[in-house]
Chain A
């Protein structure tokens, strides 16, 4: 016999779908099937069941082979590494629960570490921009029930947030949006004709990297002022048409992604997008929301925020929290070769940082805490596999609109495996002893 668990939360992207159904064996040890999830979420649940999974920590040997060690040895190695380092970097946090993040920050404070999450290579510029000029935002529920003008700027939810459009933004029939897709107009701004753009009422195929100009041109069009014939590769008439479409809506939302945060103007693009949102509020109601990637990167920002006052790139080396992206941010710390130990948890900088930064990780003492084998574990000295959060252990996570959702445990982890929180608690207690604070 099997049993079906309902209302399971998907631990993949910031959409944090909470309507999954998962079929598990009667003893609660095996996960059989996943319903309602997208193809990525399904893969995440099913992959936890693979037979070739690594279930014990491994220490890299000089010849490149791995030697299995116990969790206690792994705790000792990690605590010693952090105790001996002058400026360790503790990076990741976005694919684990808020409880584990909180314990991690206690460790960081004791170790005098730099703490950073994946916003460093994702929505970091968004954070800088919202600290500059604020962020008029709302929840995804409001969008589902009210929004009739949807802009996707430099993001491709059809690929990166596969159920976003069906759950919240385009297709659902909400309280004031009873006709679903028919009651909404969709505008996509992207240099490629993405699968999201193919669904749009208006697609502005912006010249790559010219988002700032186009955002600015939108504002000019709102004021009915003069525009050049072509801005950022888009004819003025088309910009005016899109701007009018926004103006004529009852409630609009700009979703934006890496297309604006990772191009050259970075935080200034977001500044201008927020200014456009503010400007649109002179005509109708408009909101703006970043499309957060990892399922709990928002939670990491929240926990860092209430514990240290800053949502990412926090430097605790002086015994108090400092924040200065460009100086205390992971990429810059690694590029300058400034950190002398690397602690990675719940993320994969080895695959997603520029290679010049990864080269520094490979040179210094390093620990990688991740259920998967990754390029980061491949260049780390110690790999600590842990239980999958959201599958084998519950906990709290924040959706992209800052709504906290409690995740559910679906199956047991393989016998003897620790969760992130359990492992970090052991490291914290050992570090306390080493630092003489027990």
Chain B
């Protein structure tokens, strides 16, 4: 399977906004934020169909999300995960003494992971924190 290297950013989407207000325990939160928006050319390099589960890994962590074709592109080389627990499982937490983590611009590796499940928001954070 192919692996591609991308520059990851995160941010708000209107679907994320609606999902956080309608309940972060619900699957709709995962549908809105447990995704990575990829440029069509990057999807092609990855050799994946749209809506395939992929594993995104950085120096700081690893998470499974659904790869979808971007609606706000083209942006080849750039991956976008909406702000939320999925993005924050892998972003660069270093603040370099400013108080602000480096949420945008984390180098990541993306690989197809068809058989791995995408966890719900609260479930993901609890699992990573090793609490019930």
A378-B122 in contact given A64-B132, A329-B95 (Cβ < 8 Å):
yes
**Chain B: minimal CB distance from A288 (Å):** 19
A351 near B88 with CB under 8 A, answer yes
Q: Are B93 and A331 in contact (CB-based, < 8 A)? A: yes
Q: How far is the CB of A273 from chain B (nearest CB, A)?
A: 15
**Interface contact A372-B23, CB-CB below 8 Å:** yes
* Chain A proximity mask over B38-68: 1 for CB below 8 Å, otherwise 0: 0000000000000000000000110000000
A351 lies within 8 A of B17 (CB) = no
Which one, A76-84, A256-264, A301-309, is touching chain B? A256-264
Q: How far is the CA of A358 from the CA of B99 in the complex (A)?
A: 15
A window 345-363: CB within 8 A of B = 348, 350-359, 361-362
A54 to B93, CA, bound (A): 32
A192 touches B78 (CB 8 A): yes
Task: Report which of A44, A325, A330 forms a contact with B98, defined as CB distance below 8 A.
Answer: A325
Let me know if B128 and A355 touch, CB within 8 A. Answer: yes
Interface size of B by CB at 8 A reads 53
Residues in A neighbouring B101, C-beta threshold 8 A: 121, 262, 331, 353-354
Question: Considering the chains assembled together, what is the distance between the CA atoms of A291 and B72 in angstroms?
Answer: 20
Query: Could you tell me if A159 and B131 are in contact, using CB atoms closer than 8 angstroms?
Result: no
Q: Are B24 and A362 in contact (CB under 8 A)?
A: no
Q: Are A351 and B84 in contact (CB under 8 A)?
A: yes
Chain A residue numbers with a CB within 8 Å of B91 are 354
Contacts of A44 in B (CB 8 A): 21
Asked if B27 is at the interface (CB within 8 A of a chain A CB), the reply is: no
- Interface residue? A12 (CB, 8 A): yes
Q: Within residues 313 to 367 of chain A, which ones have a CB less than 8 A from any CB in chain B?
A: 313, 325-327, 329-332, 335, 348, 350-359, 361-362
Q: Once the chains bind, are B98 and A350 in contact (CB under 8 Å)?
A: no
B110 touches A (CB below 8 Å): no
Decide if A267 is an interface residue (CB 8 Å cutoff): yes
**A373 with B25, Cβ < 8 A, contacts A125-B100, A354-B101 known:** yes
How many Å from the CB of B20 to the closest CB on chain A?
8
A358–B78 Cα gap in the complex (Å)? Answer: 26
Q: Which B-chain residue is minimally distant from A349 (CB atoms)?
A: B88
Instruction: Let me know if A125 and B85 touch, CB within 8 A.
Output: no
A12 to chain B, nearest CB (A): 7
B117 CB within 8 Å of chain A:
no
Q: Does A245 contact B (CB under 8 A)?
A: no
A199 to chain B, nearest CB (A): 12
Q: How far is the CA of A284 from the CA of B98 in the complex (A)?
A: 33
Asked if A124 contacts B17 (CB within 8 A), the reply is no
Given known contacts A209-B105, A266-B98, A351-B84, A378 and B126 CB-to-CB distance under 8 angstroms: yes
B36 contacts chain A at the CB level, 8 A cutoff: no
0/1 string, A180-210, CB within 8 A of B gives 1: 0000000000011111010000000100110
The answer to whether residues A357 and B83 also contact, given A40-B18, A192-B73, A262-B100 and a CB cut-off of 8 A, is: no
Contact flag A40-B17 (CB < 8 Å), given A263-B102, A379-B126: yes
CA distance A326 to B95 in the complex (A): 7
Q: Does A169 contact B (CB under 8 A)?
A: no
User: A282 at the A/B interface (Cβ < 8 Å)?
Assistant: no
Interface 0/1 of B111-132, CB less than 8 Å to A:
0000000000110111011111
A373: which B residues are within 8 A, CB to CB?
23-25, 122
| Residue in contact with A359 in the complex, picked from B20, B124, B129, CB distance below 8 Å | B129
B20, B74, B98, B130: the one contacting A193 at CB < 8 Å is: B74
Q: Tell me, yes or no, whether A227 is within 8 Å of chain B by CB.
A: no
Q: Which residue of A lies closest to B33 (CB)?
A: A351
Q: Besides A192-B80, A209-B7, A264-B96, 10 other CB < 8 A contacts?
A: A124-B98, A128-B98, A262-B104, A264-B102, A351-B84, A351-B88, A351-B125, A355-B125, A374-B24, A378-B131
The 5 closest A-B pairs by CB, nearest first: A64-B132, A329-B99, A326-B97, A354-B93, A325-B99
Chain B residues at the A interface, C-beta cutoff of 8 Å: 7, 9, 11-14, 17-18, 20-25, 60-61, 70-75, 78, 80, 83-85, 88-89, 91-93, 95-105, 121-122, 124-126, 128-132
